[in-house]
């Protein structure tokens, strides 16, 4: 583990370390939460139902969720689902608001099912089965947020570095967390102590920060579902996960001298790239005790990831004389820091029930249990015991709930739903849960169907730029509150054959 990552875990995590999207200069704690957090995904039909799907059969989403639902298919099917979303992130920093808008076009689902049902007159309790393969985007990291302040901070990022150099010593030459030493914004040595550049650093700074994230996780699933006596449906599948994550952060500070004349502007830019693959299995069952009721259970194993992470950074400082005129500029670059880790995410247990109102529609609901503290990382590049202790301490267990309904009229379908995803952390001082309100419409024809869904997701998060721990063991570093509001529209077009 790099020096900087230890600092961020040991400090920022104390109060509220995490975003639903991502923290800057991601620690392995952030990575574990980012890659393990579950959100129900799939076709436009399922999304319009709030994501509830564990007891529903006959939808292409069964391929990557509860594969038992594949046993309901009587015809083969191909479908494609394009999507367009806009995420609005409002950042509140020292009472100042900044809005960032991030549009995103994606292809979250592409699916094929091959059905092999038995004829009505063929004997035997086994009534056939269905094989399915799908490409499904299970996580999307495209986002941007930040702040620009005209109010002075109570402290500086330079204070953070001074505290850490004092406690742990200086990092190796070329390390990303030694850049402030390279251009002498922090000076001194372990014997005499460390201090801020007395010629250009005065008082407390104005600060600004921008964080941009890109990428996602795509799951390729291969599943099979079997039908027994049209009452018991059993299925299982293999998921291959592909991770692609990129983050760019730029943090800057501006200092004024005693005459309110600019003396120093500096900014640190860091880039984090994570790529890798993982695998998981899921096993599920759907049972029909009576014709109008479906009951579903699903087990999803931990996902075992192998992740390659690269981090690089650079710093630029502009130094001004007493008249506010630029006198010189300094810039330094860090080495590229590389490590490889394996991550095991927690298992997911899901249950669901569906009640059919004749042929007029149905009501369906799901519940999930997931214990995020079961995330574990391993690496040959560094000792992971510190990280795993933090995973067990700062992440916790939670429940997710989803409910939806569909009304059928001739070839038309009207749908609505709601989802609640619990806070994955043990910090009770701030609620990081997510809520979704969904709706949609669909049309069913003899050889094809079209479904549309509209999803609104809302969540609040805390972001800590850096940690300053005072004598009372409180983190007095700068915090921002981020309010995320994402609106997403998607269309699924399917063909039966």
pLDDT greater than 60 at residue 19: no
3-state helix, strand, coil in the chain (%, to 5): 15, 55, 30
Higher pLDDT, residue 9 or 496: 496
Count CB atoms within 10 A of the CB of residue 271.
16
In whole angstroms, give the CA distance from residue 42 to residue 28.
Answer: 28
Lowest-pLDDT range of 233-237, 404-408, 472-476: 472-476
Q: Set out the domains of the chain in order of their start, with CATH numbers.
A: 3-496 (2.40.160.60)
Instruction: Please write the tens of the pLDDT for every residue from 188-207.
Output: 998 889 999 999 999 999 99
Going by the DSSP 8-state scheme, the letter that residue 72 receives in this structure is G
What's the mean pLDDT in 259-285?
97
Percent with pLDDT over 90 in the chain: 86
pLDDT greater than 70 at residue 41: yes
pLDDT value of residue 118:
85
In whole angstroms, give the CA distance from residue 455 to residue 297.
Answer: 25
pLDDT greater than 70 at residue 334: yes
What residue has token string 């599920």? 284
The alpha-helical segments, DSSP class H, found in 37-174 are: 44-48, 157-168
pLDDT value of residue 5:
40
* Nearest one of 278, 230, 240, 234 to 67, comparing CA atoms: 234
pLDDT greater than 80 at residue 3: no
In whole angstroms, give the CA distance from residue 441 to residue 292.
Answer: 23
> Angle CA(406)–CA(409)–CA(411) in degrees, nearest 5?
100
pLDDT value of residue 129:
94
pLDDT value of residue 26:
65
* Nearest one of 244, 247, 218 to 23, comparing CA atoms: 247
239 three-class SS: strand
Q: What is the pTM of this model?
A: 0.89
What's the mean pLDDT in 392-410?
96
Whether the Cβ atoms of residue 108 and residue 136 lie closer than 8 Å to each other: yes
pLDDT greater than 90 at residue 1: no
pLDDT band at residue 470, thresholds of 50, 70 and 90? confident
* Tokens found for residue 103: 């549009």
CA atoms within 13 A on the CB side of 341: 25
Instruction: Please write the tens of the pLDDT for every residue from 66-125.
Output: 999 999 999 999 999 999 999 999 999 999 999 999 999 999 999 999 999 888 878 888
What's the mean pLDDT in 255-274?
96
* Nearest one of 154, 137, 174, 167 to 41, comparing CA atoms: 137
168 three-class SS: helix
Instruction: Calculate the average pLDDT of the chain.
Output: 92
pLDDT band at residue 456, thresholds of 50, 70 and 90? very high
pLDDT value of residue 6:
40
pLDDT value of residue 280:
97
Instruction: Please write the tens of the pLDDT for every residue from 286-313.
Output: 999 999 999 999 999 999 999 999 999 9
What's the mean pLDDT in 159-187?
94
* Nearest one of 76, 79, 75, 99 to 89, comparing CA atoms: 99
pLDDT greater than 80 at residue 337: yes
């Amino acid at each position: 583990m790099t020096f900087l990552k230890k600092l961020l875990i040991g400090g920022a995590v104390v109060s509220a370390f995490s975003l639903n999207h991502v923290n800057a200069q991601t620690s392995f704690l952030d990575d574990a939460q980012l890659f393990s957090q579950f959100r129900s995904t799939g076709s436009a039909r399922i999304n319009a139902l709030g994501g509830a799907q564990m007891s529903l059969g006959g939808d292409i989403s069964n391929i990557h969720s509860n594969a038992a639902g594949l046993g309901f298919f009587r015809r083969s099917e191909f479908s494609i689902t394009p999507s367009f979303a806009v995420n609005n992130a409002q950042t509140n920093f020292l009472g100042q608001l900044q809005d960032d808008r991030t549009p995103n076009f994606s292809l979250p689902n592409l699916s094929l099912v091959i059905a092999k049902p038995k004829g009505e007159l063929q004997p035997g309790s086994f009534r056939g089965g269905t094989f399915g393969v799908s490409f499904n985007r299970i996580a999307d990291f495209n986002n941007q947020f930040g702040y620009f302040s005209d109010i002075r901070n109570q402290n500086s990022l330079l204070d953070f570095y001074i505290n850490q150099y004092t406690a742990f010593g200086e990092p190796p030459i070329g390390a990303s967390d030694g850049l402030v030493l390279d251009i002498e914004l922090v000076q001194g040595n372990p014997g005499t102590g460390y201090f801020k550049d007395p010629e250009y650093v005065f008082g407390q700074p104005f600060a600004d920060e921008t964080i941009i994230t890109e990428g996602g996780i795509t799951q390729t699933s291969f599943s099979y579902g079997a039908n027994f006596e049209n009452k018991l449906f059993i299925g299982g599948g293999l998921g291959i996960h592909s991770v692609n994550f990129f983050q760019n952060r730029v943090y800057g500070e501006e200092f004024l001298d005693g005459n309110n004349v600019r003396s120093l502007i500096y900014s640190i830019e860091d880039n984090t790239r994570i790529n890798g693959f993982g695998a998981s299995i899921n096993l599920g069952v759907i049972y029909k005790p009576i014709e109008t009721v479906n009951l579903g259970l699903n087990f999803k194993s931990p996902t075992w990831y192998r992740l390659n992470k690269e981090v690089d950074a650079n710093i630029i400082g502009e130094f001004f004389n007493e008249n506010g005129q630029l006198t010189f500029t300094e810039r330094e670059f860090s080495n590229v820091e590389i490590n490889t880790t394996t991550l095991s995410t927690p298992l997911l247990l899901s249950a669901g029930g569906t009640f059919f109102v004749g042929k007029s529609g149905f009501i369906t609901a799901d519940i999930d249990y997931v214990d995020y503290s079961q995330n574990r990382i391993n690496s040959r590049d560094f000792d992971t015991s510190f990280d795993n202790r933090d995973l067990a301490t700062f992440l916790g267990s939670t429940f997710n709930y989803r409910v939806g309904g569909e009304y059928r009229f001739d070839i038309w379908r009207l749908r609505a739903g709601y989802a609640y995803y619990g806070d994955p952390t043990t910090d009770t001082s701030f609620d990081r849960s997510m809520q979704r309100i969904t709706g949609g419409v669909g049309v069913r024809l003899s050889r094809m169907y079209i479904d549309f869904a509209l999803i609104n997701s809302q969540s609040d998060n805390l972001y800590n730029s850096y940690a300053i721990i005072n004598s009372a063991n409180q983190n007095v570093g700068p915090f921002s509150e981020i309010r995320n509001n994402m609106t997403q529209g998607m269309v699924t077009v399917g063909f039966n054959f």
